[in-house]
């Protein structure tokens, strides 16, 4: 089994920065991709950024402001968020596509961390 632990959320003024982190642990054979999703009140969960071993993908709304990165040795993914806007306010969830030692591929979610951008 796998556990994802998220951290780094908080309250920040418009234009500020935050860095989210998500660390995976468990019976991991390999990680295909790690990503961040967010869900604002009254809206569906949406992709923010995703990184695999060969590519990255960003939502149009965060391109140029957010950067996703990973530390393969630590099974950790980061989301550096700069120039934050009130529309970025949401609960941010870590997600991984992971191959366990049983040889099967699974999809796991973190517990979520609140990001609030407000004056």
Q: What is the mean pLDDT of the chain?
A: 95
Max Cα separation, the chain?
A: 49
Average pLDDT of the residues in 25-46: 93
Q: How confident is the model at residue 35 (pLDDT cuts 50, 70, 90)?
A: very high
Residue 50: name the closest of 4, 82, 95 by CA: 95
Tokens 């999703």 locate to: 37
- Residues 66-102: pLDDT tens digits? 999 999 889 999 999 999 999 999 999 999 999 888 9
Q: How confident is the model at residue 2 (pLDDT cuts 50, 70, 90)?
A: confident
pLDDT value, residue 64 = 97
């Amino acid at each position: 089994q796998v556990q994802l632990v998220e951290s780094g959320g908080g309250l920040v003024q418009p234009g500020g920065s935050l860095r989210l982190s998500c660390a995976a642990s468990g019976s991991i054979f390999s990680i295909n991709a790690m990503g961040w999703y967010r869900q604002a009140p009254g809206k569906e969960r949406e992709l923010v950024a995703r990184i695999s071993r060969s590519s990255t993908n960003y939502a149009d709304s965060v391109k140029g402001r957010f950067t996703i990165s990973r530390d393969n040795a630590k099974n950790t993914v980061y989301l550096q968020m700069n120039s934050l806007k009130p529309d970025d306010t949401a609960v941010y969830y870590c997600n991984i596509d992971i191959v366990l030692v049983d040889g099967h591929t699974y999809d796991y979610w973190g517990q979520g961390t609140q990001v609030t951008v407000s004056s």
